[in-house]
Amino acid sequence: MNFKQQYRATFSEIHASEELKKKCFNVKNKEGKAIQLTKNKKKVMAILAAAALAASSAVAVNAAEADSGVLGSAWKNLRVYINGTEVSASDYADGDQFKITSDNGDIVIYKADDLPEQGDGEDGGVTVSVEIHDDETHSASVSITEEAPPTAAQEDASAAKS
């Protein structure tokens, strides 16, 4: 059997969706200026999940196997819960900022507008901010803005050194 022929036959079955083409056609506004394309909402969820994972040193959350907090075996299946209630990806939009904190083992996600007053409800937990940039690269960054409290093991190690 000829590999090239079979390869071409196989990958000929894969096509870009009409929805994708439609998005690509519309990369400019009425003035002809390039505009940001609609970011994949699922990716927003993945970014949130990544942030949650970054904050999860003290929380048992694993994107691959998690059964609490952030769920799913793949990012496309990730679910995000706020105070125990699942929220939809459509609740988020490009440019939104989020704060994710760990609170008694739960991942709590705040939309920027809904953030509690400083010091309110944040009891020294891990705080992660997620910025979803609306630039030409659709890049997203996850950064830990406050240091996580040391784990018991780290404290033990530090005490041993001193």
CB 49 within 8 A of CB 78: yes
Choose among 60, 49, 30: nearest CA to 92. 49
Contacting other proteins within 31-60 (CB under 8 A): 34, 37, 39-40, 42-43, 46-47, 49-50, 53
CB of 81 to other proteins, least distance (A): 17
How many residues bind other proteins (CB under 8 A)? The answer is: 45
Element housing 22 (H / E): helix 18-25
What values do phi and psi take at 2, rounded to 5?
-85, 120
Q: Is 83 in the site for other proteins (CB under 8 A)?
A: no
Q: Is 142 in the site for other proteins (CB under 8 A)?
A: yes
Q: Burial, 149: exposed, middle or buried (Cβ in 10 Å; 0-12, 13-18, 19+)? A: middle
Interface positions with other proteins (CB under 8 A): 1-4, 6-11, 13-17, 20-21, 23-25, 27-28, 34, 37, 39-40, 42-43, 46-47, 49-50, 53, 63-64, 73-76, 78, 136-138, 140, 142
